[in-house]
Structure 1
C-alpha cells in the first residue's frame, strides 16, 4: 500500500459530517513510519454540522461557515506478515486498534468532567460511508484538538510543576474511579498480550477488539525477552533481587509481583491509562487542570500502576522527598505519602474510604513500584532512578510486605 495522503483522508472523513477541510498540517510522524498526527481545521457547511461540532468541542459558534480545530491520527504501518511479525510490531498495531476503540466507544461514557478528546469520526465505523474503499487498511481517527483549552504541553522526559502534579493526580483519580462498576462481566472481548492475541487470531478464535486485558506496555507477560536478559545480567543487583525465587515458590519475585498485579476482578481494579508521563498531557496555563492523551495502552489494572511511572518519570524529586541525599533503602517519605493520600481521597470520595483501605492501597502501591523497577532494570533507567531503587530495596526487605504478598498469592490459588 502506498503512503496515504493525510489531506485526502481528512477530507473524506470530514465529509461524513458535512465539513470541509480548510488546512492539514503534520505535527508528528509516528515511530518507525507507522503514520502521522496532523492538526486540521474543518469548516461547517451547514447549521446542523456546526451545532454538532459546537457540542463536541464545547464551544458556541453555531453557524455554517464556523471553523473548528481537530486532530487526525492516521496509521498506515509497514507491511509485515502476521505469521512471523515480531512482538514489538504486534504491540504497536494492537495498541492503535485499542486506542481507536477507546476514543469511539469508551470516551462517550466518561462524562464531560474528564478532560479527554472526543471523537468525531473513525475508520472503525466507516461502513456505508462515502470513500470507505479508499480508507481500507488504514486506522484513522478524527478527534477534537485539546490545545485551545489546554495550551501548555508536557515535554519529553520533563518534570511537572507541583500544581501540574496535583492536576495530573486529580485527573487520574477521576478517570480510574469512573470505570468502577462499569466494566463488563465478560472479558472475552479484551485484547490479550500481543503474542497471545496474535495466536488467538491466527487460530480463528474470538478476536479481542476492545481494550487491553492488562493495561500498560511494561507488564511481565509482554516483556519476557527483556526479563530473560535481566535474569542473565550478573552485573545488575536486580537480577538476583527480582529474578531469584520468592520463598519456596517456583516463581521469581518479579513473577509473583506480576501475578498480584494481573487483573482478576477485584473491586478496586479499573481502567488505567497505561503510559502516564509528562509527554502525554496538556494543562491549562495555571497548571491546575490536566488533559491526557495517547491511549494506546489503556486497559484493566490497578490505578497505582499509572502512579508508579508518573512518580518516577514526571514528579520533581523535591516533592517526593525533603532531602536530596537518598539512603540505600528509603521508606515512604512525607512528600510521597501526601501525594498518595491526595490521589486516594479523590479516588474513593464517592465510595467511602473502606472501599479501598489505605493498608491495601499502600501494599498495591509498593508492589507496583517493584514491578516498574523490574521493567526499568531490564530496559534502562530514567527519571528519579535513585529514588525508585531506594524505595524498592526498602520494600523488598520489608517482611510485612513479603508476608502480605505471599498471603495474597495463596488466596488467589
Structure 2
C-alpha cells in the first residue's frame, strides 16, 4: 500500500506544473491487487492571496505496481495491467485532446510516466462528477434514457475515430501482453494504444479457452470443434481471426474498412451520466485500441441494459433467440449516429454480420471466464447465430478471403 504522504507528494508535484497548490486529498478507490489509487484532490492557485478562495476539484489516478520477485517472463495478467495503465495515459495525453467536446471524457491536466523500471504513472484529470453527477454502479443496469445516451456516446466516439486509425503507426501499437514481452523484452508500452482493443480477445485468453475446450460446457462443441476446411481451426478461432486488426496496416483484412478506436471495457461502472440521464461520459480507457465498434456494444448490451429493453419477453423460446425489436432499435440508433458522425457508409446487412460475430466472441469469453449480465439473452442469441447456415457461410467465406 502507498502512504498518504507518498500520494500527496505525487499530487503536489503534478499540480505545481500548473501553478496549483494541493489543499486536500481523499482516496476514492484503491485499485485491484495494490496497483494504485484513485483520489479526489482539491487545489488552489499557488499565488492565491485569498485563503478563503474556493478550491477546484480534480481526480488523481496514481499507479505504482507492486514489486515482483518473479524470474523470467512476467505473468500475463500482471503484464496486461502494467501495459494498460501506460496505454490509458497515452490516450488521455495524446488522443483525447483531439476529440470534440461532444464526446464526454475527462481532460488530463498533468501526468508523469516513470519508464526507468518502476512502471509508475500518475495523471491529474478534470472531475467528471462536476458535470455528470450520477455514477454508474458496478454491474448495474442503466435506465432507458441512459442507454440511449451511452449508445450515442459510443457511436460518436467510434464515428470520430473511424478512418483516423489508418494513420496510426501499427509498429508502435501494443500486441497481446506476452507477445509484446517476447518481442521487446520490456514491460513498457510504446507510444500508442492496443493493436487489438479490449481485454477479452482470444489471443490474450488462451488458457481460459483451453479450459473451455476441455469442459462439458454446452459451448464446447459449437465453439471448439475443429473445422476440416480450415486446418483444424474452430469457430471461436475463425471469429477471433476475423475481428483481429492486422499488424500490417498496408494489408486489407475483413474488417479493415470498418476499423475504429474502441473503448474496450464498456459497462455502467465506467461511466457517469447527467442528472436527467440524457448524456454520459466514459472513463477507464485502459483497453482502448483498434477494433469494430460492435465489440463495445456487445458488452454494453450484455452487462448494462435491462433485459426487458432487448425485448426478450417477445420470444416463445428462451433457448434460441433471433434479433428482437428492442435490440434492433438500439442497433439502428447506433448505426444512424455512426454514419452521421463519420460521414461514411456501413451497410445494415454487413453491420449485422459484424454484430453477430462480436456477440459470438463475447460469449466465448464469458463461457470460459464466467457468465454475468443478460446471460439468457446472450446465450439465446448466440445459439441462433451459430446454428444459422448463412452466418456460418459468411464467416467461412470472409475467413478465406
Same fold (TM over 0.5): yes
From 241, 260, 269, the counterpart of 2:242: 260
Aligned to 1:364: 354
- CA distance in 2 between counterparts of 1:160 and 1:207 reads 34
- The Cα of 1:267 is off from its aligned counterpart by 2.4
Stretch moving more, 240-249 or 30-39:
240-249
Aligned to 1:12: 13
Aligned to 2:253: none
- The Cα of 1:285 is off from its aligned counterpart by 0.4
Aligned to 1:236: 217
From 266, 278, 284, the counterpart of 1:276: 266
- The Cα of 1:351 is off from its aligned counterpart by 4.6
- The Cα of 1:162 is off from its aligned counterpart by 0.4
- CA distance in 1 between counterparts of 2:55 and 2:287 reads 32
From 96, 99, 106, the counterpart of 2:88: 99
Aligned to 1:178: 160
Structure 1 residues 260 and 82, CA gap change in structure 2 (3 angstroms): farther
Matches within 5 A, 1:142-157: 142-157=124-139
Aligned to 2:339: 348
RMSD: 2.3
- CA distance in 1 between counterparts of 2:47 and 2:224 reads 62
Aligned to 1:398: 388
State the Cα deviation string for residues 251-305 of structure 1 (Å, max 9, x = none).
1110000001111351211000000000000000000000000000000000000
Q: Assess if the C-alpha contact under 8 Å between 1:46 and 1:65 holds in 2.
A: no
- CA distance in 1 between counterparts of 2:78 and 2:168 reads 30
- Highest RCO, 1 vs 2 (Cα 8 Å, sep ≥ 6): 2
State the Cα deviation string for residues 124-159 of structure 1 (Å, max 9, x = none).
3x99xxxxx9x9752111110100100000101111
- CA distance in 1 between counterparts of 2:39 and 2:290 reads 29
From 211, 219, 224, the counterpart of 2:201: 219
Q: Assess if the C-alpha contact under 8 Å between 1:30 and 1:36 holds in 2.
A: yes
Aligned to 1:60: none
Q: Assess if the C-alpha contact under 8 Å between 1:197 and 1:208 holds in 2.
A: no
- The Cα of 1:246 is off from its aligned counterpart by 3.3
From 31, 51, 60, the counterpart of 1:72: 60
From 290, 314, 328, the counterpart of 1:300: 290
Q: Assess if the C-alpha contact under 8 Å between 1:35 and 1:77 holds in 2.
A: yes
- Count of matched residue pairs: 385
Q: Secondary structure at the match of 2:44?
A: strand
TM-score, length of structure 1 as denominator length: 0.89
- The Cα of 1:199 is off from its aligned counterpart by 1.2
State the Cα deviation string for residues 334-380 of structure 1 (Å, max 9, x = none).
11000000000000114556x21111100000000000000000000
Structure 1 residues 396 and 109, CA gap change in structure 2 (3 angstroms): same
- CA distance in 1 between counterparts of 2:66 and 2:387 reads 47
TM-score, length of structure 2 as denominator length: 0.91
- The Cα of 1:181 is off from its aligned counterpart by 2.5
Structure 1 residues 43 and 316, CA gap change in structure 2 (3 angstroms): same
State the Cα deviation string for residues 66-114 of structure 1 (Å, max 9, x = none).
5321000001111125733110000000000000101110100112111
From 318, 328, 337, the counterpart of 2:319: 328
